[in-house]
């Protein structure tokens, strides 16, 4: 006979738990469905982020320029030391040859000095420490051996110096590669952001930059501020001749420039050598802390870490190489955080 037992009913507690869980799941699904998708940044927000990345790239560029300068200086110093070592070795060889000739002459006469014999088969540094052997040498031979000792010491010191400089050079080259990579990474990030815009938005940004460059080069009132000096004016005029030249990181002319590349190149055209980087240029002359005291041709240093530099052009304007994607142009001095001027 079949069983007609009623199926077991779920407990009230279990029903309540399941119902609560289901309700929570439904609520989460509804919230997810109704949540507003993350908004894509607009053109102005993207441009602000791109400009910030370009500024960071410029900071890295100045560090890159500093490493390049140090590398070039070290290479020159190493070359000089190596030349000194080569000349010193030649002098040492000549001194040794002169002692050898003296020994040969004594050998031919059958009276080779035992002290020379010792010298020719051992280190003269140890040799002259033995006073008894010194008595057996002529004054001329003693003088020659002393010169050999001194030359050996000089060569050892110069070789050690060259070795240290080569280590510094290796470290500088590593820093150079690091900073170059940092610049490229910032520029790549900026380009990625720009690529996220529509073609029309990218064109609008490019057009704005083009308008800024055109107005800066063609319709800028520079007032009547006098030059800081004849050479400052010559440098400023050299920079003016490069208006419209593209910005390119780690370059100093004659066709492309970064900020300190433009200023160092322009002063070179005026016959004045100034340091390559903006941080070094900040210490290249007399500082001027009031904008009202600036004169045409003075360097103008921006940002607290002094990573940007341009020329004061008069009437509150600067002439500079702004950043990647722009050209050498005039701009208001108030567009960046002014630190001080430098009169060369």
Strand (E) or helix (H) holding 342: strand 338-343
Token duo for residue 96: 């040794």
Q: Does residue 308 carry a catalytic annotation?
A: yes
Among 295, 320, 323, 343, the one annotated catalytic: 320
pLDDT at 140 over 50: yes
pLDDT at 234 over 90: yes
- Under 8 Å CB-to-CB from 323, ≥6 apart: which residues? 51, 54, 55, 57, 58, 247
Residue pointed to by tokens 């490229």: 184
Residue 297 pLDDT class (50, 70, 90 cuts): very high
pLDDT at 149 over 70: yes
Quick one: pLDDT at residue 331?
93
pLDDT at 286 over 60: yes
Domain ranges for the chain:
43-195, 223-343
Q: Does residue 4 carry a catalytic annotation?
A: no
Mean pLDDT of 305-324: 95
User: How much of the chain exceeds pLDDT 90, in percent?
Assistant: 37
- The string of DSSP letters for 284-322 reads SSEEE--GGG--BT-EEEESTT--EEEEEEETTEEEE--
CA distance 156 to 212: 60
Q: By three-state DSSP, how is residue 221 classified?
A: coil
Quick one: pLDDT at residue 129?
54
263-285 per-position pLDDT tens digit = 999 999 999 999 999 999 999 99
Mean pLDDT of 236-252: 95
Among 176, 234, 239, 259, the one annotated catalytic: 259
Q: Does residue 64 carry a catalytic annotation?
A: no
Mean pLDDT of 144-173: 84
Q: Judge: domain 223-343, CATH 3.90.1150.10.
A: no
CA distance 309 to 287: 13
In contact, 250 and 187? CB cutoff 8 Å: no
Mean pLDDT of 31-37: 46
Residue 342 — φ and ψ, nearest 5°? -135, 120
Q: In 10 A of CB 287, how many CB atoms?
A: 13
Quick one: pLDDT at residue 20?
46
More confident residue, 251 or 169: 251
Quick one: pLDDT at residue 30?
46
Among 242, 308, 323, 329, the one annotated catalytic: 308
């Amino acid at each position: 006979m079949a069983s007609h037992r009623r199926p077991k009913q779920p407990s009230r507690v279990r029903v309540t738990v399941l119902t609560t869980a289901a309700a929570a799941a439904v609520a989460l699904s509804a919230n997810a469905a109704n949540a507003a998708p993350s908004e894509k940044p607009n053109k102005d927000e993207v441009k602000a982020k791109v400009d910030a990345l370009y500024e960071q790239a410029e900071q890295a560029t100045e560090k890159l320029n500093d490493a390049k300068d140090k590398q070039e200086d070290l290479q020159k110093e190493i070359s000089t030391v190596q030349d000194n070592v080569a000349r010193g070795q030649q002098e040492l060889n000549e001194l040794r040859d002169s002692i050898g000739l003296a020994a040969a002459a004594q050998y031919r006469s059958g009276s080779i000095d035992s002290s020379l014999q010792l010298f020719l088969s051992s280190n003269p540094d140890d040799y002259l420490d033995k006073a008894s052997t010194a008595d057996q040498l002529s004054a001329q031979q003693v003088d020659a051996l002393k010169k050999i000792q001194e030359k050996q010491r000089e060569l050892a010191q110069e070789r050690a110096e060259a070795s240290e400089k080569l280590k510094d050079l290796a470290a500088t080259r590593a820093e150079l590669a690091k900073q170059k990579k940092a610049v490229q990474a910032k520029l790549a990030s900026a380009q990625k952001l720009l690529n996220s815009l529509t073609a029309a938005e990218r064109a609008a940004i490019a057009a704005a930059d083009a308008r800024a460059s055109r107005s800066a080069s063609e319709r800028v009132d520079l007032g009547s501020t006098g030059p800081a000096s004849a050479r400052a004016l010559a440098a400023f005029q050299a920079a003016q001749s490069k208006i419209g030249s593209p910005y390119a990181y780690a370059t100093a002319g004659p066709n492309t420039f970064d900020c300190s590349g433009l200023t160092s190149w322009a002063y070179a055209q005026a016959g004045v050598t100034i340091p390559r980087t903006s941080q070094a240029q900040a210490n290249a002359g007399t500082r001027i802390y009031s904008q009202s005291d600036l004169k045409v041709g003075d360097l103008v240093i921006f940002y607290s870490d002094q990573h940007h530099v341009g020329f004061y052009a008069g009437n509150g304007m600067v002439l500079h190489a702004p950043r990647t994607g722009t050209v050498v142009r005039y701009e208001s001095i108030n567009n960046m955080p002014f630190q001080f001027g430098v009169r060369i």
